[in-house]
């Protein structure tokens, strides 16, 4: 009973940049992101054969509680001159409502929770529902969720769907040379430029990996630094102690929320509807052609 969780924004951004912008509806509406999203979803369903599926979306890409702790959280993504909007290509924006309407017409469960990111939604599902779980994303933040015991893995799309990697604890260990269950700790010290998180000043990848290899938590690291632990160099001790204010909030910023109150809805793959009329009308209106047919086929309708 595999549960597949789609990081929808990650998918439609990749679809938008990966599909030709010459794909347009008869009225000129761009549809490359829509078609790419449908194609990827169909391929994922065929590859992994999940029994349950959730398209996760952002309730808020800059949750107020994270911004309150760290005002610069994702501030690097805000369009110049705007205070509350992430920059988004003009020809992608009009496609998203159409795509969401089409996903709804297919009967696929779409979940976004107010004041939480899609990462938080996916993490909460991964923890609160039985595995196997496959989290589909191009975001390495979700590496913190891999759990071999519960069969939770990340379908990582950084290289595209055709060359995607299935991330488990061993993959994390091989890539970062740290214990596979300590990615979040590693990220707290290294930082994440894509989210505007600086990490601890002066501690790079090597220093963060060293810390993650020898300690289990931020509290352990700070205690060790205060006690001049032999596993920490004088330079690392100095930087850790200087970064205590940031480290006090880093776990909340970096770790995904896992305790969201999720809605009580069916996660099962949608059954064949009584009428495909709405889907076929949208397929024709927006010239979605074989992309719709592929998803229909992948759902075994």
Query: What pLDDT is recorded for position 91?
Result: 94
pLDDT number for residue 243: 97
55-113 per-position pLDDT tens digit: 999 999 999 999 999 999 998 877 544 444 556 688 999 999 999 999 999 999 999 99
In this predicted model, which residue has the larger pLDDT, 82 or 8?
8
Average pLDDT of the chain is 95
Annotate 60-118 with DSSP letters as a single string.
Answer: -SS-HHHHHH-TTTTGGGBPTT-SS-B---TTTTTHHHHHHHHHHHHT-EEE--TT--H
Cα angle 113, 116, 122; round to 5: 75
Domains of the chain, each with CATH number or no CATH: 3-176+257-298 (3.40.50.1010), 183-254 (1.10.150)
How open is the CA angle 166-153-42, to the nearest 5 degrees?
A: 65
289: left (phi over 0), alpha (psi -120 to 50) or beta: left
Please give the DSSP secondary-structure letter assigned to residue 121.
H
What's 200's DSSP letter? S
pLDDT at position 12: 97
Write down the pTM of the prediction: 0.94
- The pLDDT value given to residue 87: 60
Residues listed for the chain: 301
* Nearest-angstrom CA–CA distance, 49 and 26: 34
Helical H segments across 148-243, by residue range: 169-176, 183-190, 205-214, 218-226, 234-242
Joined together, the tokens standing for residue 72 give 């610069």
Summarised one tens digit per residue, pLDDT across range 222-260 is: 999 999 999 999 999 999 999 999 999 999 999 999 999
pLDDT tens digits, residue range 117-138? Answer: 999 999 999 999 998 999 999 9
Which pLDDT belongs to residue 76?
A: 82
**What pLDDT, on the 0 to 100 scale, is given for residue 83?**
45
pLDDT at 275: 85
Q: What is the pLDDT of residue 86?
A: 55
């Amino acid at each position: 009973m595999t549960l597949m969780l789609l990081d929808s924004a990650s998918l439609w951004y990749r679809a938008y940049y990966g599909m030709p912008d010459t794909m347009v509806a008869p009225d000129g509406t761009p549809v490359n992101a829509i078609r790419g999203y449908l194609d990827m979803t169909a391929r994922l369903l065929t590859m992994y054969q999940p029994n349950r599926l959730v398209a996760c979306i952002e309730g808020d890409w800059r949750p107020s509680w994270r911004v309150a702790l760290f005002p610069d959280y994702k501030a690097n993504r805000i369009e110049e001159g705007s205070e509350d909007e992430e920059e988004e290509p003009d020809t992608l924006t009009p496609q998203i409502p159409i795509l969401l309407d089409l996903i709804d017409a297919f009967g696929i469960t779409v979940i976004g929770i107010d004041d939480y990111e899609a990462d938080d939604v996916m993490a909460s599902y991964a923890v609160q529902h039985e595995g196997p779980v496959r989290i589909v994303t191009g975001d390495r933040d979700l590496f913190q969720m891999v759990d071999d015991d519960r069969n939770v893995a990340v379908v990582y799309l950084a290289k595209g769907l055709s060359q995607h990697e299935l991330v488990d604890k061993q993959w994390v260990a091989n890539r970062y040379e740290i214990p596979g269950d300590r990615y979040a700790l590693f990220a707290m010290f290294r930082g994440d430029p894509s989210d505007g998180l600086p990490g601890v000043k002066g501690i790079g990848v090597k220093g963060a990996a060293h810390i993650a290899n020898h300690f289990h938590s931020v509290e352990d690291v700070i205690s060790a630094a205060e006690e001049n632990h032999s596993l920490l160099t004088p330079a690392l001790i100095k930087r850790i102690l200087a970064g205590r204010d940031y480290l006090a909030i880093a776990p909340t910023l970096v770790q995904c929320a896992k305790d969201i109150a999720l809605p009580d809805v069916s996660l099962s793959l949608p059954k064949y509807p009584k009428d495909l009329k709405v889907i076929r009308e949208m397929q024709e209106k927006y010239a979605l052609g074989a992309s719709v047919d592929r998803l229909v086929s992948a759902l075994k309708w």
